[in-house]
Structure 1
Amino acid sequence: MQQQLLFISLLFFHCFPITTILSLNQEGLFLQRVKLGLSDPTQSLSSWNQRDQTPCNWNGITCDPNTRRVTVVDLSDFDVGGPFPSFLCRLPSLTTVNLANNNINGSLTAGDFSSCQSLEHLVLQANLLVGPIPEALAQLPNLRELNLQANNFTGEIPAKFGEFPRLEVLNLAGNLLGGKIPSELANISTLRVLSICYNLYTPAPVPAMLANMTNLEYLWLTDSNLVGNIPGFLAKLTRLTNLDLSINKLTGSIPGELMEMKSLEQIELYQNSLSGELPVGWKSLTALRRLDLSTNQLSGTIPDELCELELESLNLMENRFEGTLPESIAKSPNLYELKLFNNKLSGELPAQLGLNSGLLRLDVSYNRFSGPIPESLCAKGVLEDLILIYNSFSGEIPESLGRCQSLQRVRLRNNQLTGIVPQEFWGLPRVYLFELEKNSFSGQVSNRIASAHNLSVLKISNNQFSGSIPMEIGHLGNLIEFSASGNKFTGQIPGSLVNLSMLSLLVLDDNELTGGFPVGIQHWKSLNELNLANNKLSGRIPDEIGSLPVLNYLDLSGNYLYGEIPLSLQDLKLNLLNLSNNMLSGELPPLYANQMYKNSFLGNPGLCGDMVGLCQQMGDSKKQRYFWILRSIFILAGLVFVVGIVWFYFKYRNFRKSKKSIAAISKWRSFHKIGFTEFEIVDCLKENNVIGSGASGKVYKVVLRNGETVAVKKLSGQSKKDSGATSEKDEFEAEVETLGKIRHKNIVRLWCCCSTGDSKLLVYEYMPNGSLADLLHGSKSGLLDWPTRYKIAIDAAEGLSYLHHDCVPPIVHRDVKSNNILLDAEFNARVADFGVAKVFHGVNKGTESMSVIAGSCGYIAPEYAYTLRVNEKSDIYSFGVVLLELVTGRLPIDPEFGEKDLVKWVCLTLDQNGIDHIIDPKLDSSFKEEICRVLDVGLRCTSSLPISRPSMRRVVKMLQEAGARNRPNASRKNSKLSPYVNEEIFDQECVSLRLESSRE
């Protein structure tokens, strides 16, 4: 019998193993259903398996230690995607759901949360949610925190939200919400944090209902379309620690009632239209640490009692303050940032400024300050920015600043500073911008400048520096600009300067330099401007100067240069050429032998050419020359008559053949008021005017008789844009039909078009800085600092947003790339080349099939490449690639990437090596936070799923927010904010970088 029982027991355990007996509990099964509904490209949920009895040890899961019930699901930064997982609400003890910084998409419904009765914290920030916010959220009885920040929610804030019984934190910032802020929010008596900024509300005053929200500690209404005055009733918010009403349209004065808010730690009212004087009573705000009133129209003096506070940051830039700076400002022990840029302040800076505090940034530019630079500015050894330009400071640079190893930017131009610059000051190791122009400094440039290995810009023009230019400057491998004109430098141009391969500007005019050109100037491949005028240089102009690929400004006038002008100068595309007042001789290069360049060669007695007044000869030789000219005229007249007869015969014979072409020239369409004719354009279409060429034809630079410049695209033969499917006629008509009706500051202007028989002409506004690709990937890449790149990104995004959202019907460009983003003289960007653009009726509702692929390698959206279906999401992907180019400085297709393109390379490098291996090393690291935000936008735009890409309107807003958080309020890291506000997307180095590993 015992043997039978033993056999039965063994059989039971064999058929029902222990893993079945200890199977996953019901909550684990619910979470398995959640996992099935989410995409998980990074395998963040790999620990969620059925081998466990409970999910309490799974990644992102927290359980009650006593009941072993799931209480917290935190999947933030897991890179998961898909619709909101409503199965989470099946967990009866669930109190917290945090899905921040993921790709949760679709819309929220009331049914998603009907079972979440125990929920206390719901955090869905930085996802891709759309549609209205469900008012049913207000029915969650225990909810204390609702964070829907940085999504794409539309509609209005539900009035039902006033029924929340226990809500403490409401964060709806950075969405597309409209309408008015509902007054019912005042009924949430428990609310401590209200962050509903960066939305699209209709213009309205500061909501009166705020007066009743007496428990508020944090009020953030930045960029909320607020108008009118700042109301005094805000003083009723006695617990408020942070008040942010910046970037609105508020007017009037700052109410004195704000001085009664003794709990305030941070006041931000920048970028409004506030006026009047500052109120009295600042000494009562004993908790205040940050004050930013910049970019308003405030006036009067800076109150002494304000400067007696223990402030950390005081920003009063771009106002109308006058008077002197209170001495008490120097007593503040915590002040690390003082910005008073562009006011009318006068007097001296406090002598002890910086002595009691770790001053990082000082900017008092564009004021009327005078007196010496305080010795104590870098007493704590942390000063990074010293910006004093356009004042009347006098005296010498303090010796103490020569020991300030932390300095990165030194800008002292346009003052009355004198004396010898301290030797240690020249060699500060971290300085990248050194600007001493327009003062009265004397002495020599120290050879210690060799230690300034980070230096990019050296501007010391218009002083009284003397001696020779130290050869150590040629060891500064990062130097991009060197300007030293208007001094008393002697000796030769240092030969070491030819080692500066990144040098873009070399300006040494109005000195006493001697000798000839250094050997090896062909290494200046990035040189854009060379000005050596008004020195005592001698020798010949070297042939190598014609090999400098991007040189467009050359001034060698006022020297003792001799010999012939090198023919290689004809290879340059110069905007300015001045070789006057030298000792040059011989014939002019044929390109310059016309009246247009006459002033470039005056004052060289030995030069000859076919220009009246250039060769100055005296006495009999002059008479003989005139006689020879007259005789030659008669001979030439006879030859011209004979040639004219022959020419007329052949032209008449071909007249009938060209009749159609002549008729076509008269087929002229203009879209703006113009002051030129088609014949003036056609006459200038010569090979030496070509500035670009492509598959569909050439682009010419045409200088008109009225002095204006235009760009002419000549379409000839078969267009290759659509590989046989789109003819040259189609491309011409597409460009005309698209640009002919568009009026936008960020879309290139089409002045007119005409047909010349066998080719078509499109006349555009001329963009002197060429394309973004030329500057970004060419030898001029050093010209594009981050603020310029950011501005270009904003401009291009606004242009595409106009095409997608404001044109009726909408337009899809289909060939967005850095080559088709053109830059004017101020680096304002315009979208160009609409040869394959398509007009879509209902672009946001569907797609249209193309017969072939249009676009360029590296920019083509994945779904377009294999489905041939195109809509506005294709443009958004291409624009995302452009953003990645701006951030990385790399081409969209590069042999270094192997079989990957730029998008896949960025994602893989982020995953393996981190952000520092992606950002272009040419960019200033002080912009790293903003660069990372733009990179985040680029990664969103290049999502492999079209539905996950934001609209161009949303892209514009995200880019504006990326910059708004740094300018003018540059740093929030030291802000005294409420601990209940999640600041991750503002204060981390990189914001929710989406590693789209599924892009294979």
Structure 2
Amino acid sequence: MIFLFLSFLFFSFPFPSHSLNQEGLYLLQVKNSFSGSNDALSSWNPRDPTPCHWFGVTCDPTTHSVTSLDLPSSNLAGPFPSLLCRLPSLCFISFLNNSINDSIPTDISACQTLTRLDLSQNLLTGDLTASLADLPNLKYLDLTGNNFSGDIPESFGRFQKLEVISLVYNLLDGTIPGFLGNISTLKMLNLSYNPFSKGRIPPELGNLRNLEILWLTQCNLVGEIPDSLGRLKKVTDLDLAVNNLVGPIPSSLTELTSVVQIELFNNSLTGELPRGFSNLTNLRLLDASMNRLTGNIPDELTRLPLESLNLYNNRFEGTVPPSIADSPNLYELRLFGNQLSGELPVNLGKNSPLKWLDVSSNQFTGEIPASLCEKGELEELLMIKNEFSGQIPASLSECRSLTRVRLGFNKLSGEVPAGFWGLPHVYLLELVDNSFSGPIAKTIANAGNLSLLIISRNEFNGSIPEEIGFLQNLIQFSGGENSFSGLLPESIVNLTDLGILDLHRNQLSGELPSGTESWKKLNELNLASNSFSGKIPDGIGSLSVLNYLDLSNNQLSGEIPTELQKLKLNQLNLSNNRLSGELPPLFNKEMYKNSFLGNPGLCGDFTGSCNGRNKDSNRGFVWLLRSIFVLAAVVLVVGVVWFYLKHRSFKKGRAMDKPKWTLMSFHKLGFSEKEILDSLDEDNVIGTGSSGKVYKVVLSNGEAVAVKKLWGGLKKGYESEDLEKGQAQTHDDGFQAEVETLGKIRHKNIVKLWCCCTTRDSKLLVYEYMPNGSLGDLLHGSKGGLLEWPTRYKILVDAAEGISYLHHDCVPPIVHRDVKSNNILLDGDFGARVADFGVAKVVDATGKGPKSMSVIAGSCGYIAPEYAYTLRVNEKSDIYSFGVVILELVTGRLPVDPEFGEKDLVKWVCTTLDQKGMDHILDPKLDSCFKEEICKVLNIGLLCTSPLPINRPSMRRVVKMLQEVGAENQQKSTKKDGKLTPYYYEDASDQGSVA
């Protein structure tokens, strides 16, 4: 009976089914179609009954049918899976920031229920798929950041419900077609940053009565702005910037009553601003800068609730309307580079949260308005090259939000308020070429972020305070042509990041301070035309990067230190002093003839002879020589006895005194710490920085390693050699960051850290040895000719793969923060390794966005613009820096150069490219046969250095683009069956700048 009862239960209540439904099976096939890592899809379990709980999958709560597939940044690679169109209820697909490649298949038209398709930031190529327009319910289409080329297909004019289309940052090279004006449902049209052929703005776009956003930035547009755009009554954002538009701004734009921002900057527009701006009651931002506009600034414009007004680099005349001071929301006002005159409104900043004010290069007069920082938010105050007079208002000395101050080339006078010297966040203070007087206040000790102090050509007086030595971030102190007196403060040698010290034409006196050897980054030292006395410090000869030395017109005496021969100087002037003795052999040459004039005591081939002096001294020479021999014999006997006694006691105490080293290895080692320690002598030094020395050590097995020995005994607050802009980090912090980062990294393009050795007072880092040194030294040194284009290209790909590994394959991702050519090392075959992780940071793993640092880390010329202002750390900062490296390799130029003026390499390239063309940018050392490939790599560099972080490609995509350039070049030169192998995209090398 029991058996029969159990049998009844068994057959009456069957076991639940665990088989996956059909939609789940489709998704598993999709998963298997992707290559690479599928960690993001690890939750896709075939034993589940439905896929509704899988990562990225959303189902209808009633029917349990899949409605959404959302898989951004999931490391997916492979073609777009058409199989998804078999999901009958699927309306949402997002593969944002993956590696979806090939082209969009034509059978995507089978996804009839699809309303949103986001394939941005992938590797899609070929023509845009015409069948996309056959999706009857599609409302949102985002294909930003791919490699689509060719024309926009005519079928796109047939979209039935499309509201948003974004094709930003592709390689589309046709013209913007008028049939886009047929998509009556469109709310957003974004075609920016494509190398379109020259063409006009289609007047048919004025038919898009529902359009809210029109972005056509850098689309190679020519001709005039059509009046028809004035019919876009719902548009809130109109951006036509960075094109070649000409003619006047049409008055019809003043009928855009819903518009919030209008961006027309960097065109060739002419004429006056049209009347009627008072109709635009919602306008918050107007940027018509860098055009050729003329006339006055309309008073009606200043009565709008503007937040940002940028009209710089035009030809406006007249005065600034006083009513502009009444704008309650104005936080940005940039009017520089015009012909404006008169006084600024006295209440400017009183009623608005003004943050950025730039009125440079005009003809303004009068005093600086005292109310500029009334709301306590002013960050940038730029007023150079005007005729402002009077004193700096005392109210600005309390403006603690200020970060950048440029008041040079005016007629300002009086003493600088004491509090103004000590503003805590200012990194640039420029007061050059005014009539300021009085001393530098001791309150400057509070200016902890000050990097650039430029106060030349004024009437400052008094002594330079000792507090100047507290400014650990200072990299330039230019105070020439003033009336400073007294001694140079001893504390000035504490400025270990100092790159320029210029105090020429003052009344300074006394001896030069000892300890000048701490200025390891000093590039220029100009103390000419003062009253300095005493000897030239020997330590100046150890400043390895010094190339400008001018100590002329002082009262310096004694011999010229022979150590100065170690310097690689472009400018040397020690004339008109009281120097004496023989000229060092290196300087006893015709090329230095004018460097030592006015020193009667010097003798050499071009300064006079020492023969007369030698005759007077010959009489006692023989007696002196005999005395030396006798004394030497006595010293020798005493020395031998002393050495024997000391050696015996030394052997006994050596074991007790020998420091105990702790070795931590990260790879299997074929050497011991003793073999390293025994080779750390001065003959093996291959580099020196403020954090320590680098030695080349040849091991007993014949292999070589590089050993960085960090300085010991540093106090908290001294900075790492990697920090060009004042990162408050100790050498211990840098050591810890280097060990924690490199100790766990294994990649062929990241420098290998073999081990580290530590004692209480010293730390060693042992790396693989790179026989070709750094890319920066090789590129900009005398051996730059060795780097032909194929070698440079190989270095770029290697370095990009290393950085891509940090960003995409490390968990959590790592931001290097100091990518530069000097931190890319080269092995014997010119293979590249990314090095120097002393300031590297792990990206915030909480997903709350980039982490904000206390101060800037990085190197001048490589720092991303948003990092300098926001101190936000993320991968986009590294991508910008790598873009600068690309421009270095293409142009052969340094990231900052006096030839650029106030520009850096990025701005110089963009300006020169626009004004003179490609041939004026490319490194003349490069063979012209590679020009096509070089131009494409240049475009990648310009993409990476885009001012907007969101527009920079990911490092994974940078690697892909570089590889495609190389593959394309190879494919073009290889014929198969009489035909060229197809390649990814058309030649865009003549399209100019991309950023």
Match of 1:248 in 2: 243
Match of 1:762 in 2: none
Q: Deviations over 1:246-274 (max 9, x none)?
A: 11111111111211221211111111111
Match of 2:179 in 1: 184
What amino acid does structure 1 have at the position aligned with 2:786? D
Aligned alpha-carbon RMSD (Å): 4.0
What amino acid does structure 1 have at the position aligned with 2:296? T
Aligned partner (choices 84, 88, 110) of residue 88 of structure 1: 84
Match of 1:225 in 2: 220
2:350, 2:316 → 1: CA distance? 25
User: Could you tell me whether the CA contact under 8 Å between 1:885 and 1:892 is conserved in 2?
Assistant: no
1:302, 1:50 → 2: CA distance? 68
Q: Deviations over 1:259-300 (max 9, x none)?
A: 122121111111111112111111111111111111111111
1:554, 1:907 → 2: CA distance? 35
User: Could you tell me whether the CA contact under 8 Å between 1:28 and 1:54 is conserved in 2?
Assistant: yes
Q: Deviations over 1:220-261 (max 9, x none)?
A: 111111111112121122222211111111111111121122
Match of 2:505 in 1: 510
1:53, 1:497 → 2: CA distance? 74
User: Could you tell me whether the CA contact under 8 Å between 2:800 and 2:955 is conserved in 1?
Assistant: no
User: Could you tell me whether the CA contact under 8 Å between 2:97 and 2:122 is conserved in 1?
Assistant: yes
Match of 1:33 in 2: 29
- TM alignment of 1:443-842, pairs within 5 A: 443-611=438-606, 782=724, 818-819=775-776, 822=779, 832-834=785-787, 837=790
Superposition deviation, residue 181 in structure 1: 2.0
2:42 paired with 1:77 = no
Q: 1:547 to 1:351 in 2, by over 3 A?
A: same
- TM alignment of 1:208-219, pairs within 5 A: 208-219=203-214
Superposition deviation, residue 65 in structure 1: 2.2
Superposition deviation, residue 568 in structure 1: 1.6
Q: 3-state SS of the aligned residue for 2:324? A: helix
2:878 paired with 1:935 = yes
Q: 1:398 to 1:838 in 2, by over 3 A?
A: closer
Match of 1:670 in 2: none
Aligned partner (choices 25, 43, 46) of residue 50 of structure 1: 46
- TM-score normalized by structure 2? 0.69
Superposition deviation, residue 494 in structure 1: 0.5
Q: Deviations over 1:436-495 (max 9, x none)?
A: 111111111111111111111111111111111011111111110011111111111111
2:942 paired with 1:960 = yes
2:340, 2:458 → 1: CA distance? 26
1:545, 1:341 → 2: CA distance? 42
- TM alignment of 1:396-415, pairs within 5 A: 396-415=391-410
What amino acid does structure 1 have at the position aligned with 2:81? P
Match of 2:823 in 1: 891
User: Could you tell me whether the CA contact under 8 Å between 2:442 and 2:467 is conserved in 1?
Assistant: yes
Q: 1:330 to 1:214 in 2, by over 3 A?
A: same
What amino acid does structure 2 have at the position aligned with 1:960? L
Q: 3-state SS of the aligned residue for 1:165? A: coil
Q: 1:215 to 1:951 in 2, by over 3 A?
A: farther
Q: 3-state SS of the aligned residue for 1:104? A: strand
Q: Deviations over 1:154-178 (max 9, x none)?
A: 1110001111111111111110011
2:405, 2:81 → 1: CA distance? 54
Match of 2:371 in 1: 376
- TM-score normalized by structure 1? 0.68
Structure 1 regions of 5+ residues with no counterpart?
A: 626-694, 696-776, 786-814, 844-853, 863-876, 878-882, 943-949, 967-983
What amino acid does structure 2 have at the position aligned with 1:3? F
2:263 paired with 1:268 = yes
Match of 1:149 in 2: 144
2:841, 2:116 → 1: CA distance? 33
- TM alignment of 1:47-446, pairs within 5 A: 47-111=43-107, 113-446=108-441
What amino acid does structure 2 have at the position aligned with 1:242? D
User: Could you tell me whether the CA contact under 8 Å between 2:509 and 2:533 is conserved in 1?
Assistant: yes
Q: 1:547 to 1:985 in 2, by over 3 A?
A: closer
Match of 1:803 in 2: none
2:880, 2:424 → 1: CA distance? 34
Q: Deviations over 1:344-379 (max 9, x none)?
A: 111111111111111111111111111111111111
Q: 3-state SS of the aligned residue for 1:44? A: helix
Superposition deviation, residue 53 in structure 1: 2.6
User: Could you tell me whether the CA contact under 8 Å between 1:159 and 1:184 is conserved in 2?
Assistant: yes
User: Could you tell me whether the CA contact under 8 Å between 1:359 and 1:383 is conserved in 2?
Assistant: yes
What amino acid does structure 2 have at the position aligned with 1:925? A
Superposition deviation, residue 960 in structure 1: 3.0
Superposition deviation, residue 908 in structure 1: 9.7
User: Could you tell me whether the CA contact under 8 Å between 1:454 and 1:476 is conserved in 2?
Assistant: yes
Superposition deviation, residue 598 in structure 1: 2.2
What amino acid does structure 1 have at the position aligned with 2:567? L
2:598, 2:784 → 1: CA distance? 45
Superposition deviation, residue 997 in structure 1: 14
What amino acid does structure 1 have at the position aligned with 2:876? R
Q: 3-state SS of the aligned residue for 1:557? A: coil
2:47, 2:276 → 1: CA distance? 67
Superposition deviation, residue 400 in structure 1: 1.1
Match of 1:660 in 2: none
Q: 1:934 to 1:150 in 2, by over 3 A?
A: farther
Q: 1:569 to 1:509 in 2, by over 3 A?
A: same
Q: 1:616 to 1:298 in 2, by over 3 A?
A: farther
What amino acid does structure 1 have at the position aligned with 2:138? L
2:527, 2:723 → 1: CA distance? 24
Match of 1:740 in 2: none
User: Could you tell me whether the CA contact under 8 Å between 1:858 and 1:893 is conserved in 2?
Assistant: no
Q: 1:463 to 1:334 in 2, by over 3 A?
A: same
2:342, 2:139 → 1: CA distance? 53
What amino acid does structure 2 have at the position aligned with 1:353? L
Superposition deviation, residue 55 in structure 1: 2.1
2:881, 2:77 → 1: CA distance? 18
**Greater CA deviation, 885-894 or 250-259?**
885-894
1:488, 1:939 → 2: CA distance? 44
User: Could you tell me whether the CA contact under 8 Å between 2:447 and 2:471 is conserved in 1?
Assistant: yes
User: Could you tell me whether the CA contact under 8 Å between 2:817 and 2:877 is conserved in 1?
Assistant: no
RCO comparison, higher one (Cα < 8 Å, 6+): 1
User: Could you tell me whether the CA contact under 8 Å between 1:81 and 1:102 is conserved in 2?
Assistant: yes
Q: 3-state SS of the aligned residue for 2:157? A: helix
Q: Deviations over 1:757-809 (max 9, x none)?
A: xxxxxxxxxxxxxxxxxxxx997984999xxxxxxxxxxxxxxxxxxxxxxxx
Q: 1:338 to 1:931 in 2, by over 3 A?
A: farther
User: Could you tell me whether the CA contact under 8 Å between 2:844 and 2:851 is conserved in 1?
Assistant: no
1:816, 1:606 → 2: CA distance? 43
- TM alignment of 1:917-932, pairs within 5 A: 920-922=857-859, 923=863, 925-926=868-869, 932=875
User: Could you tell me whether the CA contact under 8 Å between 2:92 and 2:116 is conserved in 1?
Assistant: yes
1:907, 1:12 → 2: CA distance? 65
Superposition deviation, residue 921 in structure 1: 4.3
1:69, 1:857 → 2: CA distance? 45
Match of 1:985 in 2: 950
User: Could you tell me whether the CA contact under 8 Å between 2:348 and 2:372 is conserved in 1?
Assistant: yes
Superposition deviation, residue 416 in structure 1: 0.9
Superposition deviation, residue 901 in structure 1: 5.9
Superposition deviation, residue 83 in structure 1: 1.6
Superposition deviation, residue 588 in structure 1: 1.4
Q: 3-state SS of the aligned residue for 2:300? A: helix
